[in-house]
Amino acid sequence: MPLQITLPNQSDSTTPGRVVGIDLGTTNSLVAYVDQGVPKVIAGADGGIVPSVVTLDDNGNVVAVGVKAKKHALVDAAHTVYSVKRLMGKSFQDVKKESGLLAYRLAQADEGLVRVQIGKKLFTPIELSAFVLKELKKRAEDFFGETVTKAVITVPAYFNDAQRHATKDAGRLAGLEVLRIVNEPTAASLAYGLDKSKQGIIAVYDLGGGTFDISILKLSNGVFEVLSTNGDTYLGGDDIDRRLMELFITQIKHMEPAFEPNGEQLQQIRNVAESAKIELSTKPSVMIALDIPQANVAYRRNLTRTELETITRSIVERTRIPCEMAIKDALIDVDEIDEVVLVGGSTRMPAVRSLVQQIFKRKPHDELNPDETVALGAAIQANVLAGETKDVLLLDVTPLSLGIETIGGMMSTIIPRNTTLPTKATETYTTFVDNQTGVEINVYQGERDFVRDNRKLAEFTLKGIPPLPAGAAKFEVSFLIDADGILHVSAKEVHTGIAHEVEVKPSYGLTEEEIERMLRESVVYASQDIGERRLAEAKTEGQRILAATEKVLGQLRRGEIVITPQRLQSLNVAAVIDALYALRRVVQSEDAEAINNQVTALEQATEPLAQEIMNASVSEVLEGKNVAEIST
């Protein structure tokens, strides 16, 4: 019996017991809870922030997590892993280009997924993230003095299906039941909205260590409705650190051409770069001091904020287009935005704040701690699911359109991007050839009119369709996206009820280039796509009517359809044949208008014939029956 998929029920989510909110970040992570209506970060002996860093030995045992692991990186870089969130749901090829500046080693698994090699053992990003989550779970349990098993975990709004699955799996490995995956900007708006009791439209600009998101939300009477979202799952403070590292290494090599930094030295350079970036958020200049005695390196230079902003301008500027597209998708003007909220440690950079003010034409809010806001919002959503907060409704959206491939390689969108979650949508399709008993359903994600330009997510076959003439068999394709943003697809033949269902299995995930390309090209190639789609639709319709007409003419020749000679002569079959040949001549051309004109001409020519066949069929069915039999 097929699995029955239903929309999540809000009342089913009010799971009793303690639920914590977790911000699983690229650079740092936090766990929070709600205390008498006020969200608070749970602090440990070394503060509230837990660096997302893990040190392991060759046997796979955890040596340290968090602050202690970050210190290990300077003496045992090959066994210390950081920024693992950037690897979630990625293939080895996705991240291979930057492996040279990582102190630990990346490897490729048989199925192409990226792995982190520690000694002789390979670890998935999911496993490594689970170690960070276990540390946060332990911190919460030490604080409450009881076992904590339920959590809400945040992810970047632009995390795709694979990355959301990976995050849930990491929670499960850490011993946590993940009640909800919440988008980070949405979580931030929860904390901001409840704290300030705001009404109106808010833009949440979230630039963290490894990801960037922009979300436009409407806040009204406790309802947090996401109007649109956009972003880049591979853009953040790590890229700024890397740009500084490249600068330092290049200049050191001018002094010491033989310098090739090992893992520990790379980590030392990374720490200096990160510290310089942070200091330059509040100072006009900073002195860089890098001493690596083993390599005869004593590097000194003064680095100014202006220089930092110059070499990282292209990185910061990459956030502009997603912001502009989010505003456009929200169907608002920038002047309608009431507030702009900054989230993520990288928004402390003056260059970032200046760009945000330029894009949104207003000074962004900076009174909230950008490092804590997401965790506090996750705690509020956790409180909602625990049944403690009842006056908040969170309405999130899906970031990219979802659909299936139809005849001609076209994308038939079933759920458009920025549709509010959870959601379910169904479209009805038909067979294209006679006696078709199965149909292959290919699921795609993206914004272009043709599937070749989008990302394939899954495929399956609906079998058992009754052998009927083309167009007679009907089947429904249903897409369901749950509250976590995870997709389920089902298909059902309408007449027989035969169905097939599948939960879309995660693949490598979308690279940042693919996401940017999908959205950019949907604008750049809009007019071209419209033309290509019009041509494809014209060819498809032309081939359909050709096949149908040829079939009827064949049946007439074979005597399978009986029409008297006198009546047949009055139907002008010769004109039908002429129109058929005219359509054949143009149906494979690149002229959509010519094809459509000949389709119309053939339809007009065949109309009397089609009516006569219909009348003959009805007469045959009614022959020999009385009125009572017909009425039943």
Kindly state the tokens that stand for 542: 């032309």
- The distance from CA 249 to its chain's CA centroid, rounded to whole angstroms, is 35
Q: In 256-311, which ranges are continuous DSSP H helix?
A: 263-279, 305-311
- Between CA 295 and CA 249 the distance in angstroms is 12
Peptide bond into 422 cis (omega under 30): yes
Catalytic residue among 94, 161, 169, 184: 184
φ and ψ at residue 437, rounded to 5 degrees: -110, 0
Question: Partners of 81 in the beta sheet?
Answer: 54
DSSP 113: B
Tokens representing 170 are: 């990491």
Query: Is 168 a residue of the active site?
Result: no
> Six-digit token pair at 568?
């047949």
Whether 23 is a known active-site residue: answer: yes
Return the SS3 of 410. strand
The helix/strand/coil state of 605 is helix
| d(C-alpha 12, C-alpha 568), whole Å | 66
Interatomic CA distance for residues 178 and 335, integer angstroms: 38
Name the token pair of 440: 């292959």
326-357 residues labelled b (16+ CB within 10 A) or e (exposed) = bbebbebebeebebbbbbbbbbbbebbbebbe
Catalytic position from the list 70, 85, 168, 539: 85
Nearest 5°: phi and psi at 432?
Answer: -110, -25
**337 Cβ contact list (under 8 Å, min separation 6):** 201, 202, 203, 216, 327, 360, 362
Which residue in the list 206, 447, 449, 482 is annotated as catalytic? 206
- Burial call 56-92: b when 16+ CB within 10 Å, e when fewer: beeeeeeebbbeebbebbeebbbbbbbbbbbbbbbbb
Residue for token pair 């332990």: 138
Cα–Cα–Cα angle for 188, 193, 198, rounded to 5 degrees: 145
Angle (deg, nearest 10), helices 573-586 and 526-557: 140
Output the six-digit token pair for 81: 């892993």
Please confirm, yes or no, whether 85 is among the known catalytic residues. Answer: yes
Rounded to an integer, what distance in angstroms lies between the CA atom of residue 217 and that of residue 203? 6
Residue 565 is encoded by which pair of tokens? 């000679």
> What separation in angstroms does the CA of 355 have from each of 208, 334, 364?
16, 14, 10
Report CA-CA distances (Å) from 143 to 42, 134, 171, 373: 7, 14, 19, 20
621: number of Cβ within 10 Å: 10
Residue with structure tokens 């030392």? 268
For residue 93, give Cα distances in angstroms to 90, 243, 262, 409: 8, 21, 23, 27
d(CA 118, CA 108): 13
At residue 34, the 3 state secondary structure works out as strand
Helix runs in 13-150, H state only: 67-72, 92-95, 125-144
Q: Distances in Å between the alpha carbon of 387 and those of 16, 138, 145, 277, 482?
A: 7, 23, 21, 42, 20
- Catalogue the active-site residues: 23, 85, 184, 206
